Amino acid sequence: MIHFDEQTQTFHLKNSKISYLLAIEENNYLAHLYFGKAIKHYSGGYQYPRTDRSFSPNAPTSTDRLLSLDTLPMEYPGHGFGDFREPAYNIKLPNGSRINDFRYDSHEIQQGKPKLEGLPALYTESESEAETLVIDLKDPITGLKLKLFYSIYEEYAAVIRSVQLVNETSETVEINQLASQSLDFPNRKLELIHLNGTWGRERQLTREEVQTGIKILDSKRGSSSHQQNPFVALVEPHTTEFQGEAYGFNLVYSGNHETTIEKDPFDQTRLVMGINSFNFSWQLEQDARFQTPEVVMVYSDKGLNELSHTYHDLYNQRLVRGKHRLQERPTLINNWEATYFDFNEEKIMNIVDEAKKLGIEMFVLDDGWFGNREDDYTSLGDWVETEGKLACGLEKLAKNIKNEGMKFGIWFEPEMISKDSDLFRAHPDWALGVPGHGRSLSRSQYVLDFSREDVRDNIYQQMKAIFDRVPIDYVKWDMNRNMTEVYSVLLAADQQGEVAHRYMLGFYEFLEKLTTEYPDILFESCSGGGGRFDAGLLYYMPQTWTSDNTDAVARLKIQYGTSMVYPISSMGAHVSAVPNHQTGRNTSLETRGNAAMAGVFGYELDLTQLTAEEKDEIRDQAKFYKKHRQLFQYGTFYRLESPFEGNDTAWMFVSKDQSEAMVFYFRVLAEAAHPLVTLKLAGLDEEAIYCMDEREMGGDELMNLGFYMDSELHGDYVTQRFYLQKV
Ligand code: DGJ
């Protein structure tokens, strides 16, 4: 998969789908040549044209006026010796200089893909399925070394990149920026797609022209955030869901991140992605290494659906780990929107009894079971069950639920500490904060300093005490605020820029330990809904609560956007009560059910308050979902009609063997004399005949002609569902 051509000094990473080409240029600079559709034979003649550009300096030690680092497409660009575009790194040397002139030194091609020390990363199951190119760049003056990692799998249209800085000098250097990757596109008209939003409105899809200048998409919140997901795509102006080129970039990291897109005056576009350089610094001592998180770069020449399919397959197969990988996930009932903090054993067991009758498989006890937690002002950090709230006690409750034949899940928010908690009273310095300054509250809580081992140990032991006593099948790991006053009292003054990343390393270490010690528990991450929906967390927790917004109409956009990169098997989606608690909207149970089926399905409402008809409908929904969940969770997901472009949304699932498919259609607002809507399907076997609603139709017919939607569909928020089976 990886070849080095001595004669042309070119590296070619390729599989049957993609090629990635880079070359050692004059003066040993590493230049980027190409990323895109596979090239079977590369002649070696694609060299950046030599042009003398005014005000673009020539490479150091070179007298050649025709070559400048300011215009040459670079693999890992720096600043200070000719390239005035956005750099990928910024390293301060002991003499105050930031000039680091990294040039090709050596390379190695390895079988498989190395692990990333302390960080989440894609993995291999066998050495032969992937190869990794490691290129060492060295500054000949300082001796600092950069290692660039490029992995390619045989099967996927993806290149995975990360960087390691190795301090082989005799003094400490200070890293102020070290991106995971940079990619230059020469002379392309491109559009940028990114996923932004806020609480309750996560991963809204924005598409805009890449214009001259610099655009930064980032999070400084200490988490990957509701506001800006660490994913972007660059696409051609004519790219749609089904055609055109698309390049995806996804950072496998859950903390502060930064993506910079710069288009220069020569219409060249650079995209740099990595840990956010804002307020970041790292003291790298002699002989120490700093490893960046990795970026998963995916290419598609058939539009955005294909781009997403690669991400979904890759993440299901080679990011999610452990017992629950590729397993059908249980349907659940969560008591949060049913009771909030106001529950007791009787209320819970009534819901459980009803859930059991309706065929739901797991009960999840949400916030409010510990300390004095009757509201959200108190007790985070005191992970001991509230005496008397559950008359029989937590352990007995869990056992009773399990005796009913259901699974039991429970909520934690381990990284947080309430101002009003025994833990805070005992250890006020355990929360992030600058001595002498007040701390900012958010939801009346502070953030524990997870960069500290003693803090992590304490929380780990508290959780362990519960895990070892109570039979737990599932844990919802929440995080309900962003970080402020990011300062750790244990670190020296010149190390305070390390705290946000050290927190992430501590957090990942905690998760590694916990998920290794309790491999049977299914973990779902959450941050006030989808405030930390990222690939980093999917490595430890196979599911994420997609959004606190459970409104079916709002969920169309949220789930559509999320599906750009994250697989359906990772997206928690629940049917809740109406009027919806977040939007006040009334939608039918059918619409709520159909929307939630594009995810890991559950309920979040008081089942005891429903009418007999509603219960019948829920029984049917749960049965239907369970029957088809393999298709929903692990089938190929096609987006057909976008909620960001109009009143209609449609998506469908096709089984991997194309023997069956399920189509969902949603119309938001009713209109008199609605124009006719045809739906063209995708992903079917064009040679096959499918049976849909007792009609037999060709796969090619369904994909090319499609079919008319019911013109009698009346009312707001309506939905239809079609099941197709190969004849
Ligand atoms: C935020 C979560 O997203 C909700 O589902 C719920 O668990 C609450 N926190 C509990 O405090």
Q: Quickly count: other Cβ atoms within 10 Å of residue 314's Cβ.
A: 22
Q: At what angle do helices 612-634 and 345-358 cross, to 10 degrees?
A: 70
Q: Quick check: is 548 catalytic?
A: yes
Q: Is 545 in the pocket of ligand 1 (CB under 6 A)?
A: yes
In angstroms, the CA 378 to CA 444 distance is 8
**Cβ burial 593-630 (10 Å sphere, 16+ → b, else e):** bbbbbbbbbbbbbbbeebeeeeeebbeebbebbbebbe
Q: Is 104 in the pocket of ligand 1 (CB under 6 A)?
A: no
Q: Is 241 in the pocket of ligand 1 (CB under 6 A)?
A: no
Residue 365 has pLDDT above 90, yes or no: yes
Q: Is 178 in the pocket of ligand 1 (CB under 6 A)?
A: no
Q: In the prediction, which pLDDT does 47 show? A: 85
In angstroms, the CA 173 to CA 330 distance is 50
Predicted confidence (pLDDT) per residue in 602-611, tens digit: 999 999 999 9
β-pair type (228-235, 213-219)? unpaired
**Alpha carbon of 484 to ligand 1 centroid (Å):** 20
Per the residue annotation, which of 139, 367, 548, 648 is the catalytic one? 548
Q: Is 478 in the pocket of ligand 1 (CB under 6 A)?
A: yes
Q: Is 366 in the pocket of ligand 1 (CB under 6 A)?
A: yes
Q: In the prediction, which pLDDT does 45 show? A: 84
Among 474, 478, 555, the mutation site with the greatest number of ligand 1 atoms within 8 A of its Cβ is 478
* Token pair belonging to 227: 């506001």
Q: At what angle do helices 589-596 and 552-562 cross, to 10 degrees?
A: 10
Q: Quickly count: other Cβ atoms within 10 Å of residue 56's Cβ.
A: 18
In angstroms, the CA 207 to CA 230 distance is 15
Residue 61 has pLDDT above 80, yes or no: no
Q: Is 533 in the pocket of ligand 1 (CB under 6 A)?
A: no
Among 334, 545, 547, 571, the mutation site with the greatest number of ligand 1 atoms within 8 A of its Cβ is 545
Ligand 1 atom index nearest CA of 529: 3
Among 198, 366, 380, 555, the mutation site with the greatest number of ligand 1 atoms within 8 A of its Cβ is 366
Q: Quick check: is 478 catalytic?
A: yes
CB 575 within 8 A of CB 592: yes
State mean pLDDT over 435-458. Answer: 97
Ligand 1 atom index nearest CA of 476: 7
CA distances from 514 to 118, 475, 477, 523 (A): 14, 11, 12, 10
Q: Is 526 in the pocket of ligand 1 (CB under 6 A)?
A: yes
In angstroms, the CA 16 to CA 37 distance is 9
Q: In the prediction, which pLDDT does 46 show? A: 87
CB 668 within 8 A of CB 553: yes
pLDDT band, residue 59 (cuts 50/70/90): confident
Q: Is 528 in the pocket of ligand 1 (CB under 6 A)?
A: yes
CA distances from 531 to 122, 221, 528 (A): 22, 10, 6
Q: In the prediction, which pLDDT does 64 show? A: 85
State mean pLDDT over 653-673. Answer: 96
**Alpha carbon of 607 to ligand 1 centroid (Å):** 19
Ligand 1 atom index nearest CA of 411: 7
In angstroms, the CA 419 to CA 107 distance is 53
Residue with tokens 């959200």: 376
pLDDT band, residue 210 (cuts 50/70/90): very high
Positive or negative CA dihedral for 588, 594, 599, 601?
positive
Residue 567 has pLDDT above 90, yes or no: yes
Residue 706 has pLDDT above 90, yes or no: yes
3-state secondary structure 544-557: EECCCCCCHHHHHH
Q: Is 684 in the pocket of ligand 1 (CB under 6 A)?
A: no
**Cβ burial 401-426 (10 Å sphere, 16+ → b, else e):** beeeebbbbbbbbbbbbbbbbebbee
Q: Is 336 in the pocket of ligand 1 (CB under 6 A)?
A: yes
In angstroms, the CA 666 to CA 70 distance is 50
In the chain, what are the helix, strand and coil shares in percent, each to the nearest 5? Answer: 20, 30, 45
Among 201, 411, 416, 443, the mutation site with the greatest number of ligand 1 atoms within 8 A of its Cβ is 411
**Alpha carbon of 576 to ligand 1 centroid (Å):** 14
pLDDT band, residue 243 (cuts 50/70/90): very high
Q: Is 651 in the pocket of ligand 1 (CB under 6 A)?
A: no
Supply the residue whose CA is at minimum distance from atom 10 of ligand 1.
Answer: 367
In angstroms, the CA 204 to CA 210 distance is 18
**Alpha carbon of 273 to ligand 1 centroid (Å):** 30
In angstroms, the CA 185 to CA 196 distance is 24
Residue 279: HSE in the Cβ half-sphere, 13 Å Cα cutoff: 16
CB 532 within 8 A of CB 223: yes
Predicted confidence (pLDDT) per residue in 253-263, tens digit: 999 999 999 99
Q: In the prediction, which pLDDT does 557 show? A: 98
Residue 188 has pLDDT above 90, yes or no: no
**Alpha carbon of 367 to ligand 1 centroid (Å):** 7
pLDDT band, residue 215 (cuts 50/70/90): very high
Q: In the prediction, which pLDDT does 315 show? A: 98
Q: Which of 511, 332, 321 is nearest to 412 (CA)?
A: 511
**Alpha carbon of 219 to ligand 1 centroid (Å):** 21
pLDDT band, residue 693 (cuts 50/70/90): confident
Q: In the prediction, which pLDDT does 423 show? A: 98
Predicted confidence (pLDDT) per residue in 669-678, tens digit: 999 888 899 9
Q: What global pTM score does this model have?
A: 0.98
Q: Which residues contact 630 (CB under 8 A, 6 or more apart)?
A: 328, 655
Q: Is 367 in the pocket of ligand 1 (CB under 6 A)?
A: yes
**Alpha carbon of 529 to ligand 1 centroid (Å):** 7
Q: Annotate 98-150 with DSSP letters as a single string.
A: -----EEEEEEEEES----TTS-----SSGGGEEEEEEEEE-TTT--EEEEEE
**Alpha carbon of 527 to ligand 1 centroid (Å):** 8
Q: Is 529 in the pocket of ligand 1 (CB under 6 A)?
A: yes
* Token pair belonging to 118: 């302390």
**Alpha carbon of 479 to ligand 1 centroid (Å):** 8
Residue 617, phi then psi, degrees to nearest 5: -65, -40
In angstroms, the CA 531 to CA 635 distance is 26
CB 187 within 8 A of CB 294: no
What is the percent of the chain with per-residue pLDDT over 90, rounded to a whole number?
Answer: 94
Supply the residue whose CA is at minimum distance from atom 2 of ligand 1.
Answer: 528
Residue 54, judged by CB atoms within 10 A of its CB (0-12, 13-18, 19+), counts as exposed
**Alpha carbon of 117 to ligand 1 centroid (Å):** 31
Q: In the prediction, which pLDDT does 710 show? A: 85
pLDDT band, residue 120 (cuts 50/70/90): very high
Strand segments, DSSP code E, in 139-276 are 145-153, 158-166, 173-185, 191-198, 201-209, 213-219, 228-235, 246-251, 257-263, 269-275
Q: In the prediction, which pLDDT does 63 show? A: 82
**Alpha carbon of 336 to ligand 1 centroid (Å):** 7
Residue 485, judged by CB atoms within 10 A of its CB (0-12, 13-18, 19+), counts as middle
Supply the residue whose CA is at minimum distance from atom 11 of ligand 1.
Answer: 367
Residue 292, helix vs strand vs coil: coil
Residue 622 has pLDDT above 90, yes or no: yes
CA 136 and chain centroid, separation: 29
55-69, 210-224, 453-467: least confident range: 55-69
Predicted confidence (pLDDT) per residue in 279-314, tens digit: 999 999 999 999 999 999 999 999 999 999 999 999
pLDDT band, residue 62 (cuts 50/70/90): confident
Residue 121 has pLDDT above 90, yes or no: yes
In angstroms, the CA 498 to CA 393 distance is 42
Q: Quickly count: other Cβ atoms within 10 Å of residue 386's Cβ.
A: 16
Q: Is 479 in the pocket of ligand 1 (CB under 6 A)?
A: no
What is the percent of the chain with per-residue pLDDT over 70, rounded to a whole number?
Answer: 100
In angstroms, the CA 166 to CA 387 distance is 53
Q: In the prediction, which pLDDT does 74 show? A: 96
Ligand 1 atom index nearest CA of 366: 7
Residue 44 has pLDDT above 90, yes or no: no
In angstroms, the CA 275 to CA 34 distance is 24
Q: In the prediction, which pLDDT does 424 show? A: 98
Q: Is 604 in the pocket of ligand 1 (CB under 6 A)?
A: no
Q: Quickly count: other Cβ atoms within 10 Å of residue 143's Cβ.
A: 12
Return the amino acid letter for 418.
S
Supply the residue whose CA is at minimum distance from atom 1 of ligand 1.
Answer: 528
Q: Is 480 in the pocket of ligand 1 (CB under 6 A)?
A: yes
Q: Is 411 in the pocket of ligand 1 (CB under 6 A)?
A: yes
Identify the H or E element spanning 558. helix 552-562
pLDDT band, residue 79 (cuts 50/70/90): very high
State mean pLDDT over 172-194. Answer: 96
Per the residue annotation, which of 101, 366, 367, 478 is the catalytic one? 478
State mean pLDDT over 449-455. Answer: 98
Residue 16 Ramachandran class (φ > 0 left, ψ -120 to 50 alpha, else beta): alpha
**Alpha carbon of 385 to ligand 1 centroid (Å):** 18
Supply the residue whose CA is at minimum distance from atom 9 of ligand 1.
Answer: 528
Predicted confidence (pLDDT) per residue in 142-152, tens digit: 999 999 999 99
Residue 382 has pLDDT above 80, yes or no: yes
Q: Return mean pLDDT, the chain.
A: 97
**Alpha carbon of 636 to ligand 1 centroid (Å):** 30
